[in-house]
Amino acid sequence: MYAIPKYKEVNPSIFACITFPFLFSVMFGDIAHGLVVLTISTTVCFLEPSMRPTLAKDSLLHMVFDLRYLFLLMGLFTVYCGIIYNDFASIPLWLYSCYVYTEGNDEPSRLPDCVHMPGLDPAWYISTNEITFQNSFKMKVAVIIGVCHMSMGILMKAFNSVYFSSRVDFVFEFIP
């Protein structure tokens, strides 16, 4: 959609308000940087009522105040994905692991009856294929969410073309 939605048209920006910040966090996914974004956006949310009247309408800070909740979601989702990736400023959090490396053995051994916590196991950070696995994992998750994000927009276009009886849009935009 490259224009302002028409009257009674499904507006995809409602879905994009959630899927865009989450897609951003899947690609960014770091607890430390997410906390920075979350702290700044929370501060902007609390300062907005007192500071907005003093700003010029065309100032850059005025635009930041308009996007404060988007940045807040981006910070929250980035912290969440950082927990899933077990990544704090590109350093793993060694809070738990189901694998133990013993001396003289290159392969880790799994602890019996270990319940794996959410997120990537820190043992991946000392494996020989750490970069290959983590980049592949993050890229696949980003592609899956990105395809879902775009598919939702295409589906909204189909709903709009059916509602407005636009066969041309349905046949030449939705079906391909």
Letter for the amino acid at 53? P
Residue 1 has pLDDT above 60, yes or no: no
pTM for this model (two decimals):
0.77
CB atoms within 10 A of CB 103: 4
Alpha-helical regions (H) of the chain: 13-28, 31-51, 60-66, 68-85, 130-163, 167-169
> What is the band of 2 on the pLDDT scale with cuts at 50, 70, 90?
low
Nearest to 90 by CA among 130, 37, 148: 130
pLDDT in tens, 130-169: 788 888 888 888 888 888 888 888 888 899 899 999 899 8
Of 21-25, 42-46, 57-61, 172-176, which range is least confident? 57-61
Average pLDDT over residues 27-42: 93
Looking at residues 116-129, what average pLDDT do you find? 78
Enumerate residues 6+ apart whose C-beta is below 8 A from 15. Answer: 152, 153, 156
The pLDDT value given to residue 18? 83
